[in-house]
Structure formats: C-alpha cells, structure tokens
C-alpha cells in the first residue's frame, strides 16, 4: 500500500466514532486491530518509517536499520483519550514479533483493555481482553479470545467473592503474597473467618476483602499466580493451620504497616512472606511494624538471584530483625539449590525446596522449586510447634527451630548462619 494511502486508511479507522461504552470496547478493539494489520506490512514497503511525520494521530519511536531490521514502537491515538501501542520487531527483513495493546481512559487514567499478538502473516494469533466491574480500576475477568477477536474461548476470574464457610480454628498463620485461590475447597476450608463466617483475609493491592491470587506487575494479560502453591505446602505440612491470606500492597508499600496490624489483631503469631526486592525503602513500613511486634514470628524468603545477600542485600530478608527467620532452598543433600540466595549473616537456614509437590492456582498438582517454596515448610514447622506449645514466646519458637538444623553438605557458596533441616515435616513428634 502506498505510504499516503496507508496513512489515510489508519486515520479513517481511528476517527470512526462509537456510540456507547459497551460498543466502544468491542469496536475499539476491532479498529485497533485493523490499524495494526495495516501497519504490519508498512516496514517492507516503507523502510524509512511507518507513517509520515505530519500524521498527528501517531507518536512513534525506534528506528529501522539499513537492512530493514529493528524494533518499532508506535502509539496510535484511538480518540476520546484512548490509545493503542504497536510493538514490532523485524530481523533481516522478516517480522519476528508484532503485538498491540489497547488502553482506554477511566477515572482520569488509562487502563489496559486488550492485547493481541500477531503471527508472521499479520493475523491475530493470541488475544486477551479485560472486563471491569463496578470499580472501573479493578478487572474482574480476563477473556481469552479466538482469532476473530469476538468469540470468547476461555474466561479467567480475577476478583471473585470469597465463598461462605466456618472458621476452622487452629494456629493462625498469615500469608503475605499474591493472594490465594480461595475457590479451591482445600484452601476455603482453612480460611480464618469471623463469627459470621466472613473471611478475615484482605487485598491490600486493590483494597477490598478478596485477596485472590493475582500478580499483574509484569502484565495484566499474563498474570502470575504464586500464593496458591505456597499455601498448599503450608496446609499439607500443617493441616490444622488457620490461614489468613493477604495480597501484598504492590501500589503502596506503606500499607504494610496496616496489613501487619490487621494480622496481629486477627491473632497471627506466624507470618510467612515469600516476597522481596532490592529496595530497602519499599520495606520501611514493614520493618517498623515487625519490630514493634516481638510476639509475631516473620518467616521470609532469601530470594532466588544466585547471590550473597550479605554483600548484595535483598529486603526484607537482610533486615537484622530478632523476630524474623530468613529461609533459602537446599537440595535433598543439604547443598544450596541452584539460583538460591545465601548469606552467612543474613540467611538463617536452608530446607529442601526443590521439586516440592504443590496444588497450583488451577487446582492441579505441580512441582515447584525455589526459596519461596522453602518458606511455607518452615512456617508449617513453626505452626505445629506452636500448636503443641501455645505459651511459647517468639524467642523460644525460633530456638526450637534453630536446634533442628544440621551443618549439612558445606560447600561454597552454601553458607548460612544455622545450617539446614533435612526434613522440616518431621518435627520430632
């Protein structure tokens, strides 16, 4: 298609008016798709640029090399404040990647609406669309679309209500993570609840009482699910636990102070937290709240960066808190697991955390590996010990765990403060 005709075709697509909000979503996706496919062949016909400089409907970045290779990013104005970002990668004159993400205005900001990935033939190969509920900033479903971009082949729930139930009793363990899939019966049966049966867990990311397992920090269209598998290990090794799930406050880590206070008020003596980052400032609120509650034991992950966190810290693992145990993953022989972090001063112990059987977000049995999956094993041990000794202080509980460690197979860089526990599910009963 000649350059000018291509530009006019895209302009006419983008200026097509849509009468109402519901139709605008569907029609907007179709218009963005048509514009993306029109752009798809442009680099081959027009190696100097995708659109003329005088087309105000597009903002572009990136550049093509002399051999017609490179990455192009093009932002299309979809009207009424919406936009579509087209991400294209060419190598040797061939299309290697084409992806379009559509956003629409809501509450004064752009919110993600849909994503389409295209094949080498410039036709949709994979597409997903977000559906929002009463809160216009929180998606409630993720629809998997067929290549026609209209037919829904599968729906993922993103924010369902917690099913009713009764409080199970037992030692209360708070889990700060990406949430859990409380629709699974084995998790719903262990949720901490009030006298009316209302779940006491909370979502401090979306600020609602539905801490459903969902981490959209990398992509809203390919969410990560982490907390469900972690919780399944805790419940498998401490079946009588009373689970108090929290979805961590990704958008505002200052809320960690409120979260810890809520866990304390709900009776949590043990808090498991397989989370961390490189920025100590993100964890200031957590550190202060944890320091102020010596009767709570925090069990955290050392991380999986393959580094010594004494010299290259990960937080909160590297904080010197007297009421915190930092855990990393070992293999079955007491050697540091590949990729797991260590630290003679910052990491307390190792437990086997490789190939651990979990029940994932789908309810399927799947193996998992890493320090995240070592943490619930130590939390389960602590819960069983506390169940038998409810009057123990945090200091006594930590000591009871420490004396179970052995030196294991000591080979650098497998260096931790206490050693390893070969089988944390065996607590000497």
Based on the fold, state whether residues 372 and 285 are members of the same structural domain.
yes
Based on the fold, state whether residues 205 and 333 are members of the same structural domain.
yes
If we measure between CA atoms, which residue out of 361, 114, 97, 106 comes closest to residue 228? Answer: 361
52-89: pLDDT as tens digits:
333 334 444 444 444 455 777 888 888 888 899 998 88
Based on the fold, state whether residues 412 and 268 are members of the same structural domain.
yes
312-330: pLDDT as tens digits:
999 999 999 999 999 999 9
Q: Comparing 124 with 406, which gets the higher pLDDT?
A: 124
Distance CA 208, CA 298 (A): 24
Confidence of residue 409 (pLDDT cuts 50, 70, 90): low
Q: Is the dihedral of CA 120, 124, 127, 132 positive or negative?
A: positive
Q: Which of 2-11, 17-26, 73-82 has the lowest mean pLDDT?
A: 2-11
207-217: pLDDT as tens digits:
999 999 999 99
Specify if 143 maps to a domain. Answer: no
Confidence of residue 256 (pLDDT cuts 50, 70, 90): very high
Torsion angles phi and psi, residue 53, rounded to 5: -65, -25
- Indicate the DSSP class of residue 232: H
Distance CA 384, CA 377 (A): 11
Distance CA 59, CA 381 (A): 56
Distance CA 139, CA 129 (A): 10
pLDDT (0 to 100) of residue 415: 85
DSSP labels, 248-269: --TT-GGGHHHHHHHHHHTT-S
pLDDT (0 to 100) of residue 90: 78
Based on the fold, state whether residues 115 and 181 are members of the same structural domain.
no
Q: Comparing 136 with 424, which gets the higher pLDDT?
A: 424
Distance CA 26, CA 21 (A): 9
If we measure between CA atoms, which residue out of 303, 302, 307 comes closest to residue 347? Answer: 302
Confidence of residue 114 (pLDDT cuts 50, 70, 90): very high
Specify if 163 maps to a domain. Answer: no
Specify if 392 maps to a domain. Answer: yes
Specify if 177 maps to a domain. Answer: yes
Q: What is the mean pLDDT of residues 101-113?
A: 91
Q: What is the mean pLDDT of residues 407-428?
A: 76
Confidence of residue 10 (pLDDT cuts 50, 70, 90): very low
If we measure between CA atoms, which residue out of 202, 315, 305 comes closest to residue 259? Answer: 202
Torsion angles phi and psi, residue 364, rounded to 5: -95, 145
pLDDT (0 to 100) of residue 153: 97
* Partners of 86 in beta bridges: 74, 100
Specify if 113 maps to a domain. Answer: yes
For 24, the domain range is: 3-122
pLDDT (0 to 100) of residue 135: 86
| pTM for this entry | 0.87
Based on the fold, state whether residues 106 and 191 are members of the same structural domain.
no
pLDDT higher than 50, residue 411: no
If you search the block for the tokens 């404040």, which residue do you land on? 81
Sort 224 into a burial class: Cβ within 10 Å, 0-12 / 13-18 / 19+: middle
Specify if 10 maps to a domain. Answer: yes
Distance CA 41, CA 68 (A): 12
pLDDT higher than 60, residue 260: yes
Based on the fold, state whether residues 316 and 383 are members of the same structural domain.
yes
Q: At what angle do helices 394-402 and 375-388 cross, to 10 degrees?
A: 120
Specify if 300 maps to a domain. Answer: yes
Using a pLDDT cut of 70, give the percent of the chain over it. 85
pLDDT higher than 80, residue 310: yes
Specify if 157 maps to a domain. Answer: no
Distance CA 218, CA 213 (A): 14
Number of structural domains in the chain: 2
Q: Where are the alpha helices (DSSP H) in 272-415?
A: 284-291, 375-388, 394-402
Helix (H, G, I), strand (E, B) or coil at 285: helix
Domain at 290, CATH number: 3.40.50.200
> For the chain, first and last CA: distance in Å?
77
167-199: pLDDT as tens digits:
999 999 999 999 999 999 999 999 999 999 999
Q: Are 243 and 173 in contact (CB under 8 A)?
A: yes
Q: Comparing 365 with 333, which gets the higher pLDDT?
A: 365
| The two structure tokens encoding residue 42 | 């442009």
If you search the block for the tokens 């810890």, which residue do you land on? 260
Q: Which of 106, 122, 138 is the last residue of a domain?
A: 122
Highest-pLDDT range among 34-48, 328-342, 377-391? 377-391
pLDDT higher than 60, residue 9: no
Based on the fold, state whether residues 221 and 327 are members of the same structural domain.
yes
Q: At what angle do helices 284-291 and 256-265 cross, to 10 degrees?
A: 30
Based on the fold, state whether residues 46 and 111 are members of the same structural domain.
yes
Q: Which of 74-88, 256-270, 302-316 has the lowest mean pLDDT?
A: 74-88
pLDDT (0 to 100) of residue 38: 82
């Amino acid at each position: 298609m000649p350059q000018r005709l291509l530009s006019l075709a895209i302009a006419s697509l983008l200026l097509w008016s849509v009468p109402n909000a519901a139709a605008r979503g569907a029609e907007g996706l179709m218009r963005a798709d048509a514009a993306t496919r029109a752009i798809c062949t442009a680099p081959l016909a027009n190696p100097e640029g995708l659109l003329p400089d005088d087309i105000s409907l597009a903002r572009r970045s990136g550049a093509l090399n002399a051999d017609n290779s490179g990455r192009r990013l093009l932002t299309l104005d979809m009207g009424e404040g919406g936009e579509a970002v087209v991400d294209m990668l060419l190598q040797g004159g061939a299309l290697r990647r084409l992806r379009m993400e559509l956003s629409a205005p809501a509450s004064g900001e752009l919110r993600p609406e849909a994503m389409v990935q295209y094949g080498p033939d410039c036709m949709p190969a994979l597409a997903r669309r977000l559906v929002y509920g009463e809160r216009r900033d929180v998606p409630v479903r993720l629809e998997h679309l067929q290549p026609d971009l209209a037919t829904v082949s599968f729906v993922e729930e993103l924010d369902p209500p917690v099913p009713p139930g009764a409080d199970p009793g037992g030692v209360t363990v708070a889990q700060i993570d990406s949430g859990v899939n409380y629709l699974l019966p084995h998790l719903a049966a262990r949720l901490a609840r009030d006298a009316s049966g209302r779940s006491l867990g909370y979502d401090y990311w979306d600020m609602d009482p539905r801490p459903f397992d969902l981490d959209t920090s990398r992509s809203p269209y390919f969410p990560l699910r982490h907390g469900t598998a972690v919780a399944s290990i805790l419940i498998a090794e401490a079946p009588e636990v009373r689970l108090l799930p929290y979805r961590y406050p990704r958008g505002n880590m200052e809320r960690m102070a409120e979260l810890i206070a809520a866990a304390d008020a709900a009776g949590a003596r043990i808090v498991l937290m397989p989370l961390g980052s490189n920025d100590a400032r993100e964890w200031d609120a957590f550190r202060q709240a944890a320091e102020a509650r010596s009767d709570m034991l925090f069990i955290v992950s050392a991380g999986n960066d393959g580094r010594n966190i004494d010299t290259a810290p990960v937080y909160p693992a590297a904080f010197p808190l007297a009421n915190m145990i930092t855990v990393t993953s070992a293999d079955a022989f007491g050697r540091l697991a590949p990729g797991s972090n260590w630290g003679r001063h910052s990491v307390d112990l190792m437990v086997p955390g490789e190939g651990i059987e979990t029940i994932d977000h789908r309810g399927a049995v799947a193996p998992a590996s890493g320090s995240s999956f070592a943490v619930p094993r130590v939390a389960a041990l602590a819960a069983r010990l506390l169940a038998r000794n409810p009057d123990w202080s945090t200091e006594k509980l930590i000591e009871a765990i420490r004396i179970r460690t052995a030196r294991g197979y000591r080979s650098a860089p497998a260096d931790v403060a206490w050693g390893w526990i070969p089988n944390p599910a065996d607590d000497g009963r």
